[in-house]
Structure 1
Amino acid sequence: MLDGIPGGAIKAGRNPFAYFARILDSADIRIGNLECVIASRGRGRPERKPFTFRANPDAVNVLKGHFTALSLANNHTGDFGRAAFSDMLDLLEAQKISFFGGGRNLAEAHAPLLIERNGLRIALLGYNEIFPRGFEADHDTPGLAWSEDEQVIADIRNARSVHHADLVIPFMHWGIEHEHHASARQRQLARAMIDAGANAVIGGHPHVTQDIEQYKGSPIFYSLGNFVFDGFKDEDNNTGWLIRLEVDRSGVHRWQLYVARTDREGIPHPVSPRPRSCWQRGQGMKTVCGDSGD
């Protein structure tokens, strides 16, 4: 979320991702959830909701330095209307930052973002199911990909059968704010996505971290909590996770978790330079976790 105090830090020439730059920049693919609109249009005409976030276009330059792709599927990228949203798409494309979970029409919003690295074809999908639903894309209208179970399942299957993806990873904006455990709704859909062919599920929105589950050998991170985000006082709201996945054609064979603590300016700092490392062993795909120095 690059408005507010983090936006002020960017305006002053600071980089809110600086403390995680080494970890981010060492990855082949770097993905984030963009929890605001970045635009020059729309100022003064926000949606009628308690909180609206609009970042200065200069924020795109900071994102370009650290991210390969951004999910737009959340309840804030539509805060200043469709003109501002379209501005953001233009800005991201001009800086060659890929995006998914939103687009200029319904088909583009639901299309997988395909990234090829080291011989692997990876499909990224994004969905929002936090109201208001009014910013959903239509056949000829820009907006977000809304989370409807049948459509989500169809998109995952199409990513494999039509787009020939080796791996499929959906990013979900879901759950109940400030709840530390995933809801029955989240668990049902996450497992259905893996049954349909997803290799991992990554979620956000509750503003706290939630539980991690392994289902049929695939990890589900129900909520990564807050990363760059100001305005919270409690420690659980100022804690987030950066997840590093190691993948091959069989799926995720190892993952690492870095804990972030957000300061008063909404800027995250690593709690430790050493991640919590987890990997899968044996035919039963048991998860083994421990501290790692790599």
Structure 2
Amino acid sequence: LTLDEARRPAVVERDGLRIGVLSYNCVGPRESWATSRKPGCAYVKVLTHYELDHASPGGPPAVYTFADPATLERMAEDVAALAAEADVVTVSLHKGVGHTPAVLAMYERPVAHAAIDAGAHAVFAHHAHIMRGVEMYRGRPIYHGLGNFVTVTHALTPATGDAGERAEWARRRVELYGFAPDPDMPYYPFHPESRNTAIAVCRFDRDGSGSAGLVSAGLVPCWIDGAGRPVPLGDDEEGRRVVSYIEGITRQAGLTTEFHWEGDEVVLRG
């Protein structure tokens, strides 16, 4: 796909509602970005600035990240154009700091907010391989990262005696992210906390005036079992433990979303 093609929405019709989906990449190598002459993904360019704000050369800097205004505006234009022709607009964002519990980088909320401000009814994010907090912004949900779901691989786990790239990555992973995967799950080389995950549940319908909108937003908690399979949970001890985890990382990220059980689902308010 060229950039123009990558920016085109997917639109499906269900039960009389036209539902549009747009997807953007905020992380990953520039080689994956589409241009006018090269296939790739639609993207929002994120800039990173490192500031050494103390007199200790070589010490840890403060990190500031923000979206390039031109590409952020381009995303907003796409969302607004889709909102003019579809009943429901959803945006998928490939974003976030990998393998790091709770943290939202500086750019993440502004980019998601820009999508909602332009007309999106919901934002679903992924990439970090670990669950992120959930935000309600202007009455619309932003799932800042839905973590892992069906994600199993041996590609990142070194074999016995392996001295190549996989072994080097295993060493770097501890250095960068401070964890080693469960040795009993070599096919699941991710942060132990990433076994807490969820399915986003959003319901849309028309109101009395015929306008389409969000009826409810919520989630179904899940746990990645010992075989790497996501297991949906209900309103029981395990389900409440996972929801407590999600609520905890939501608070750590400075978000005030409220989580309420309704049957075996959790409804979001805020």
TM-score, normalised with respect to structure 1: 0.56
Find the aligned partners of 1:108 and 1:234 in 2 and give their Cα distance.
Answer: 35
The answer to whether the 8 Å contact 2:2/2:40 transfers is: yes
The answer to whether the 8 Å contact 2:233/2:264 transfers is: no
Pick closer, same or farther for the CA change 1:268–1:130 going to 2, 3 Å.
same
Find the aligned partners of 1:132 and 1:290 in 2 and give their Cα distance.
Answer: 40
Once the two structures are superposed, the pairs formed by residues 48-59 of structure 1 within 5 Å of their partners are none
* Matched position secondary structure for 1:251: strand
Q: Which runs of 4+ in 1 moved over 4 A?
A: 273-277
Q: Residue type of the partner of 1:196?
A: A
Find the aligned partners of 1:133 and 1:118 in 2 and give their Cα distance.
Answer: 39
- 2:26 is equivalent to residue 129 of structure 1: yes
Quote the offset at 1:206 in angstroms. 1.4
Q: Which residue matches 1:292?
A: 263
Q: Which residue matches 2:95?
A: 174
Higher mean alpha-carbon deviation, 258-267 vs 111-120, is at 258-267
Structure of larger gyration radius? 2
Find the aligned partners of 1:191 and 1:266 in 2 and give their Cα distance.
Answer: 33
Q: Which residue matches 2:222?
A: 260
Find the aligned partners of 2:212 and 2:260 in 1 and give their Cα distance.
Answer: 20
- Between the aligned residues of both structures, percent identity stands at 31
2:14 to 117, 121, 131: 117
* Matched position secondary structure for 1:134: helix
Quote the offset at 1:288 in angstroms. 6.4
1:144 to 41, 44, 53: 41
* Matched position secondary structure for 1:213: strand
- Where do 5+ consecutive residues of structure 1 fail to align? 1-103, 278-285
- 2:80 is equivalent to residue 165 of structure 1: no
- 2:105 is equivalent to residue 191 of structure 1: no
Find the aligned partners of 1:287 and 1:263 in 2 and give their Cα distance.
Answer: 27
Aligned length: 181
Q: Residue type of the partner of 2:261?
A: G
CA-based RMSD: 2.4
Quote the offset at 1:131 in angstroms. 2.3
Q: Residue type of the partner of 2:202?
A: L
1:222 to 127, 131, 144: 144
